[in-house]
Structures are given as structure tokens and as C-alpha cells.
Amino acid sequence: MFKVAIVGAGSAVFSLRIISDFTKITEFKDVEIYLMDIDETRLNSTFILANKLNEEMGSKLKFKTTTNLEEAIDGAMFVINTAMAGGHDYLEKVRKIGEKWGYYRGIDTQEFNMVSDYYTISNFNQLDLFLKVARLVEEKGEKGAWLLQAANPVFEGTTLILRNVSINMVGFCHGHYGIHYLAETIGLEMNKVDWQVAGVNHGIWLNRFLYNGKNAYEILDEWIKNNVYEPRHPFDDQLSKVAIDMYKFYGQMPIGDTVRNSSWKYHYNLETKKKWYGKFGGADSEIGWKWYQDNLKAITETINKLAYFVSQNSNIKLLDYNLYKDYLNIEIFKEEIERIIDTEKLSGEQHVPFIDSIVNNKRQRFVVNILNNGVIEGIDNDVAVEIPAWVDSSGIHSEEITPKLSERVIKYYLRPRIMRMELASEAFLSGDIKLLKEILFRDPRTKSEEQVEGVLNEIMNLPENEKMRKHYIL
């Protein structure tokens, strides 16, 4: 038996995916899981549903809830961090201030970092929380404890923590599943595809793509010649015009959220976004992000209602949603719940299978964020890269990246993205405001020094940014 802590466990869909995975791996029947969050309502909903799932799946997982971070991490062998300091409300508040000062989609929307909840400049509280969690893992965790980073920004967070805190740590993202989508759409059977991706989080590229041992890029090229892709929803961009345009420029296909993280060419305004990403303008347009947030809100509300319903009807079966689907509008997360209650399939999140590999010495392949240490040529050793690796109880073993990433991917995509990570990380560590300003001086939307001063002042004067203000200014 060992202890796991989920920090930010009120993120119910994510927590239920993780918990359902624990219930489905037979060796994990009696793990102790501490659910930690500062929001007691959300925490309680996760707790009710977790216990119900546990009971119906016949597992003996033990759940505890706490609002105390230290208590959660004390003695834990694995800590999963999915917390977002300030939540989506903070992100929107800061985005609004940015737009007022002439920064379309906010100051944290940057070249090669357009993802709308991936703040690096104004996200002091989130980075501060990352370090706090990591240091607690070092001080209070079980000997050799692991931190599994799910919360964004995974790239900045993984680099920052692995450079500054001596713990076992890995960052996870599900962006690489874009390869499954890509392969299936162009008519390939996934089990015959030999693939590799490499890069940094939200900046990964398909360096190896073989089908039955032959170059599958030729099949992709043929598909591109004969098809025009229309997105079915804002996140449906893996084969969008922008993905193909990036492929033509960089010589390799961008995978997953990399398609969102393109240059300004595709993001000047909504019209440009629509031209490249289709009618919704992509996930990070004002239309696409609103769609995502409305969905998240509806899911959170439905989960709270479902938890209440379960607490009032003890004979209800979570595994049979026909019993409650008419009472609740579960259409919004039907696919989610189907997967969570599917006893045969895991959720697709890598965290619990990773723990399984470490604890039970099951050698499995993952896509991980770890320090480069020579795996990708042309990138510093102490930068967190996202690469395929094999994991067993002796740890993480990176694959050799072959063939290499294209020269354009390294020179014109990864290096500029890494430079931005370095500026944001050094600013955060040193408290030197000049570094934050420098990021904005290099921003094509900046027209004057007053604009830079104005937007940073207004963001730092938000009540929740008192610590940030003191760090940078006093």
C-alpha cells in the first residue's frame, strides 16, 4: 500500500479519470488517495463520486479529503498536481486587461504559446504553487517520491522544478494522441504505425512516421492533395489548413496542441484565425475558448449535481447511467462517463499507468516531459523536452530520437520557444521586472514603453497578485 496525493482534486473530470484508472489496475486495489483542493464544494463532489466508483468497481481504495497541502503530501509516494491557482476567472481577468492595452487575447498569448490557459508572464501564483508543491514533495514525501505534473504550463513548470528541486518528477500532457487521430483520419491502422514525436510540451513534431515499415508521410501527402478538412469543433485542428501549412514550412507535422501554438501569421485577429483554423477560429479564438469554458462550466455543474444525486440515492448505480441520465443533463459529458465506467478501458491519461510501471515494474511506453540531457540535439541539456520513453521500476529510459527533428523545427520553432521559457523562468526566479518587460518589448503588438508599463502595472495591482507585486517591485 502506498499514498497518492491529487493536488487540485476538485478538477473532477481529471480526478475521476485518475481514480477510475486506479480501480481498473488490479494491483492497485488498496492505495490510499488524498484528494486536496481549496474549494470544498468541488472537493466533496469528487469525494462522493470517487467512493461510489470505488465501491461499484469492487476496489478497496481509501480516500481522504483535505484542504491542507502539507497533509496531502506528507508521506505520499506519488503527487499529481492538477491545480490552477486563481482558476479560469483569473485568466479571463488578466486577458481582459491585456486586451484593453492592445494585446489581442492577452499578454500571455505569445508566439509559439497561444494556448489560452498556458500563462507564463502573469502566472506568478501558479509557478509559485508549482515550486511549493515540489519542495513539499522533497521535504515531506516518501523517500524517492515522484511528482507528476499535469497543470500548465507544463514546459516552464517541469524545467523550473527539475532545475531547482532534487526530486523525481515528470510532466504529462495528452497532446501526442493527435497522432492517433491523424493516422485514423488518413486511413491508417494505428497498430501498424511506427511513430515518434519530439520537441517541448505543446511543441512536438512527428519525426518518425512509418506504416508497415514504409514512409507514411507519402500517404499523408496524398491525403492532403485530395482533402479539405472542416473542423467539427474548435479543438478539431490536427489536419486543419494551419497544421498543413506548418508541415510545409517546418518539414515535419506538428502534433496535438502544437497546431494551436503557431506563429502570429495564423493569429493576428479572429478573421485570420478563421481563415486558418476554420469556422470557429480554433480553440484559442474568442469563439473557441468560450465554447471550451462553457463546456467546462456545464461539466462542473453537472458533476456537482450528480454527486448530490448520488449522496441522496444510495442505491443508484454510477455504472448504469440510464438510471440518472434523464434526471441530469449528462449529454455534456456522456463520452467521459462512458469511459470512466468502462471496466475494460483506461482513461487515456498517462499518470496511473506510469505509476503502475514504476511500482509493478511493468515496462510501458509513454510520452514524458523530462530534462533533455542530450536526447534532442541542438537543445540545452537542462531544458524539459517532450519525448517518448520506456518506463519500468528502474525509472524513465528515453528513446533515441531517430530520424532527427528537422533543422527548421530546431532553429525556428524550438529555440525561440525555449528563449521565451528562459525569460519567463528567470523573471519568476529573480523578480527582475526588466525580464518581463523584455518579453513584451519583443511582442509585435507592443507600440510603446507606456503600453508595457501600463499593462504590467494594472495586472500587478490586482488584489490576488500582491505577492507577485512585492516580488517584482518592492
202 interacts with ligand NAD by CB under 6 A: no
For the chain, the farthest-separated pair of C-alpha atoms sits apart, in whole angstroms, at: 64
14 interacts with ligand NAD by CB under 6 A: yes
Binding part of the chain for ligand NAD, among 167-175, 331-339, 426-434, 459-467 by CB under 6 A, reads 167-175
Supply the minimum distance, in Å, between the C-beta of residue 44 and ligand NAD: 11
Q: Is the dihedral of CA 175, 179, 181, 182 positive or negative?
A: positive
At 414 the three-state DSSP class reads helix
- The dihedrals phi and psi of 453, each to the nearest 5 degrees, come to -60, -45
Q: Any known ligand binding at 226?
A: no
For residue 298 the three cell numbers come to 456545464
At 408 the three-state DSSP class reads helix
Binding-site member from 11, 109, 258, 465 for ligand NAD (CB under 6 A): 11
Q: How far apart are CA 60 and CA 361, in angstroms?
A: 22
Which residue's C-beta sits nearest to ligand NAD? 10
Q: How far apart are CA 16 and CA 10, in angstroms?
A: 10
| 153 preceded by a cis bond (ω within 30 of 0) | yes
Binding-site member from 4, 6, 10, 179 for ligand NAD (CB under 6 A): 10
Question: Do 284 and 91 contact (CB within 8 A), yes or no?
Answer: no
130 interacts with ligand NAD by CB under 6 A: no
Q: How many angstroms separate the Cα of 30 from the Cα of each of 44, 59, 161?
A: 21, 7, 30
Binding-site member from 91, 94, 114, 129 for ligand NAD (CB under 6 A): 129
Catalytic: which of 174, 245, 380, 392?
Answer: 174
174 noted as active-site residue: yes
Question: What number of chain residues touch ligand NAD (CB under 6 A)?
Answer: 26
At 155 the three-state DSSP class reads helix
Q: What is the x/- site pattern for ligand NAD, positions 251-290, by CB under 6 A?
A: ----------------------------------------
For residue 415 the three cell numbers come to 529555440
For residue 249 the three cell numbers come to 514550412
Binding part of the chain for ligand NAD, among 77-85, 104-112, 361-369, 431-439 by CB under 6 A, reads 77-85
117 interacts with ligand NAD by CB under 6 A: yes
Which residue, 85 or 107, is less far from ligand NAD as judged by CB? 85
Supply the minimum distance, in Å, between the C-beta of residue 419 and ligand NAD: 22
For residue 41 the three cell numbers come to 464544494
Supply the minimum distance, in Å, between the C-beta of residue 378 and ligand NAD: 25
Number of other residues whose CB lies within 10 A of the CB of residue 328: 17
Q: Any known ligand binding at 233?
A: no
Q: How far apart are CA 416 and CA 233, in angstroms?
A: 30
For residue 211 the three cell numbers come to 506504416
Binding part of the chain for ligand NAD, among 7-15, 246-254, 302-310, 328-336 by CB under 6 A, reads 7-15
Which residue, 7 or 188, is less far from ligand NAD as judged by CB? 7
Beta strands 203-211 and 395-398 are: unpaired
Range 36-53 burial, b when 16+ CB lie within 10 A, else e: bbebeebbbbbbbbbbbb
Beta strands 3-7 and 32-36 are: parallel
Binding-site member from 4, 7, 77, 376 for ligand NAD (CB under 6 A): 7
Binding-site member from 83, 200, 239, 352 for ligand NAD (CB under 6 A): 83
Catalytic: which of 236, 237, 257, 443?
Answer: 257
Number of other residues whose CB lies within 10 A of the CB of residue 225: 7
174 interacts with ligand NAD by CB under 6 A: yes
Supply the minimum distance, in Å, between the C-beta of residue 129 and ligand NAD: 5
Q: How far apart are CA 116 and CA 122, in angstroms?
A: 13
DSSP class per residue in 327-355: TTTGGGGHHHHHHHH-SS---S-SHHHHH
Q: Any known ligand binding at 191?
A: no
87 interacts with ligand NAD by CB under 6 A: yes
170 interacts with ligand NAD by CB under 6 A: no
351 noted as active-site residue: no
Which residue, 8 or 141, is less far from ligand NAD as judged by CB? 8
Supply the minimum distance, in Å, between the C-beta of residue 382 and ligand NAD: 21
157 interacts with ligand NAD by CB under 6 A: no
Q: Which of 183, 180, 125, 130 is nearest to 154 (CA)?
A: 130
Supply the minimum distance, in Å, between the C-beta of residue 342 and ligand NAD: 20
109 interacts with ligand NAD by CB under 6 A: no
Residues known to be catalytic: 174, 257
From the annotation, which residues make up the binding site for substrate?
152
Interface residues toward ligand NAD, by CB under 6 A: 7-8, 10-11, 14, 36-39, 42, 82-85, 87-88, 117, 129, 150-152, 154, 172-174, 296
From the annotation, which residues make up the binding site?
152, 173, 202
